[in-house]
Structures are given as structure tokens and as C-alpha cells.
Chains A and B, each alone.
Chain A
Amino acid sequence: MDWNDPSTIDEWLYLEPDGELTSAELRELDAAAAASPETARTRQELARLSEILDASKIAVRPSFEAEVLASLPPAPWSARHPRSWWGAAAVLAVFGGAAALLAGMSAAQLQPASPFLAAMAAIGDLLASSVAAGAGLIGASWRGIGLAVGDWLGESIPNAVAFGVFVVGVNLILLRLLRRRSRFEVVASESKSTSIE
């Protein structure tokens, strides 16, 4: 048999395992195999070849599909899908609603549409006034303390000297506390290493 120049029957023999033959071609092949033991043997061998190739397939690991789905990135096309805009639309609606409510309240100040809105606007005004008054008081207090200290220091030189001594004394006390703490830490670490030895 010359395999470099395959005849039609030879070609059909090789096409048969792939299911590429028509029923008419299959019938002709059956007839050829019945007439020629060599054709029948080749046919059998090719069928066996397909069988052993199929049998050599590996099994896909069971978790494969789940792994693929878990590792899917956000696809560029998904951003263009209407569903992806729903979240943004919802946020926009919430902000829009809040803005509308505030606008309604502002309008209610000018011309109260209902007693509830008028009451809410009044409470808002009260809170704003309280905050402004509190801030003013704190500012005034600090300004008052500053002025009082300034007057006291300006009254005489001993006052200024006493204030300077007070500031230096406080700094010295703080410095001493810090040094004492660091010395304590060194002693503690030394005693620890001694006990280990």
C-alpha cells in the first residue's frame, strides 16, 4: 500500500474515526473491508489508535471551574453595562433627595409650607446661633486672659522676672523628669541582663 499517494479508501479509513464520512461512504468502506483483509486490519488499527489516544486524556481537577470563576477580573465591558450604573444612580438619587430636602427647608424659612418644616428650620437656626455664640465666648475668653497677663507683666520688672523664673523652673522640672526616666530604664535593662547570666 502506497501511503504517500493515498487512495480514496485509504483516506476514508483515516477519516472514519473522526466521524467525517457520510453513510454512503461508510457503506463503501464496509464493502472494501470485507473484500480486503488488509483494509479490515488497517481499519481496526485506526479505531484502536483513536481509542488509546482518547484513553490517554487527563482528568480536569474538580476545583478548576470554581478557580476560574473566582479569579475573573472586572472586565472592561462590564463597566459599560447598564447594571453597573445602578449603584451610581442610587447614590445620585440619595444626594439629590437630600439636596431637595435642604432646598425645601430653606424655602420654608422664607414662606413656611407646613408647621413641621417651620419648626425644623427654627431648630436649625437655634443650633447655628448657639454654635456662633459659643465660638464667640471662647475667643473672647482667650483674648481676655492674654490681655490680663500682658497687663500684669507690664506693670513692673519683678513681675516679668518672676514670670521668667516660673517658665524656666517648669522647664527644668520637665527635663529632670525625663532624665530620671531614662536612667531608670538603663538600670532596669542592666539588672535584667545580670539575672540572665
Chain B
Amino acid sequence: MPSENPTPTDAELVAGTLSGREDYFGDLVNRYKGPLVNYLFRMVRQPDEAHDLAQEVFIKIYRALDRYDPQYKFSTWLFRIAQNAAIDRIRKRRIQVVSMDRPNDDGGDGVWEFPSDEPDPYRDSRNRERGDAIQQAIDALPWEYRELIVMRHYGELSYEEIARAKDMPLGTVKNKLFRGRQMLKKSLAQYLTD
């Protein structure tokens, strides 16, 4: 039980919540709120919307908590639900997404097109220009690379967790992250040298 262990596992916190301790679910929220909000922010581009969506995801998780299988990682389950929620939200917005699931005819990958006139969170920061460049570079990535890059860097998932969340072989995840980073490195070259 969590009280006996200084750092309870996710499965222990889930079991504690199911036994009637709501504060254990609070621990889970606290553990994953940062990665989840950041992951969703990179998907939907709006900080407030990302927070609202993250809240919805946690509520969905809470409702279905008794269906959680401890043999799988909690993070994998959480991010799979988050990914579906983000895609649903984006579809509702009717944002034009070119081939999210399959490659284009020319063999390349669909490009995430995400036009937005909303305020950018970096406007007030000292590194506004760099922030804009990062966002543009991420937006310019093909969907399948972008998704994995966001999962890795903002969702803070390991390669294995990404592979499980996406039902992909580990090698494919490594390869896609490799290619995605190559593209990012090229796009952000001017910010990578001191």
C-alpha cells in the first residue's frame, strides 16, 4: 500500500483509489499533470484547452479505473486516452489534417496543418522568437513523427511506453523519433549553436 512505500507505483495508487481513497487519485493526477498538459498543449495549441482536455482525460480515467489492467503501464493507458481525446477535439474543430493515419501517395507522410490566430504562450517570454520557431518546427513535422516527438519530449514517455501506446514495434518508434529529430534539428539549426 502507498502508505508503506515512499514512492508508490501507479498500480498501487490505482488500487488505493479503488479501495475508496480519492487522495490516491490526486497523487496520480499530480504525477502526470505536467506531461499530460504539455502533450495536449502541443496537440491542440491552446493552454486553456489543453488544461480542460487534460481534466476530461483524468475524469475518463477515473470513471474507468476498475478496468485498468496492472500488467500494463498506467502511463500507456493514460496517453492512449489522451491521444484519442486530442484527436477528437481537433476533428471537432474541423482543422484540415492531411492524412493523419497513412502516408501520402508520394511516399511521404501527411503534414499536420494547424493554422491558428490564437495568442501564443511564448509571446510574453524572452525567448518568444525561439518559442515560435519550435512550434513551427513541430507543426511542420509529418503527423506520425510529430506525434511521437510530442509523446517523447512533452509527454515524457519512454520508447517502450510509446511503442505500447501506439501499438508499434520498438524499432519503428526509434526510427520515427530518429527521423523526426533529424527534421527538427534541421529546422531549428540556428538555435542549436551557442
Chain A residues at the B interface, C-beta cutoff of 8 Å: 3, 6, 11, 14-15, 18, 20, 44-46, 48-50, 52-58, 60-61, 64-65, 67-69, 71-73, 75-78, 80-81, 83
Interface residues of B in 127-145 (CB under 8 A from A): 127, 130-131, 134-135
A-B Cβ contacts below 8 A, count: 108
- Cα(A187)–Cα(B184), bound, Å: 84
Pick 13 A–B contacts, CB within 8 A, sort by A: A45-B192, A48-B194, A54-B153, A56-B130, A57-B38, A58-B121, A60-B34, A60-B37, A69-B22, A69-B26, A69-B29, A72-B59, A77-B65
- Cα(A19)–Cα(B137), bound, Å: 23
Q: Is the CB of A69 within 8 A of B25?
A: yes
Q: Is the contact region of chain A dominated by helix, strand, or loop, or is it mixed?
A: helix
- Chain B interface residue count, CB cutoff 8 Å, equals 49
**Shortest Cβ distance from residue A66 to the other chain B in the assembled complex, whole angstroms:** 9
Q: Is the CB of B33 within 8 A of A64?
A: yes
Q: Which residues of B contact A54 (CB under 8 A)?
A: 153
Q: Which residues of B contact A65 (CB under 8 A)?
A: 26, 29-30, 33
Query: Residue of A at shortest CB range from B30?
Result: A65
Q: Is the CB of B54 within 8 A of A64?
A: yes
Whether B154 sits at the interface, judged by CB under 8 Å, is yes
Q: Which residues of B contact A80 (CB under 8 A)?
A: 66
Q: Which residues of B contact A53 (CB under 8 A)?
A: 134, 153-154, 184
- Say yes or no: A81-B20 contact (C-beta < 8 A), given A49-B185, A64-B51: yes
Whether B77 sits at the interface, judged by CB under 8 Å, is no
Q: Which residues of B contact A14 (CB under 8 A)?
A: 177-178, 181-182
Q: Which residues of B contact A78 (CB under 8 A)?
A: 20
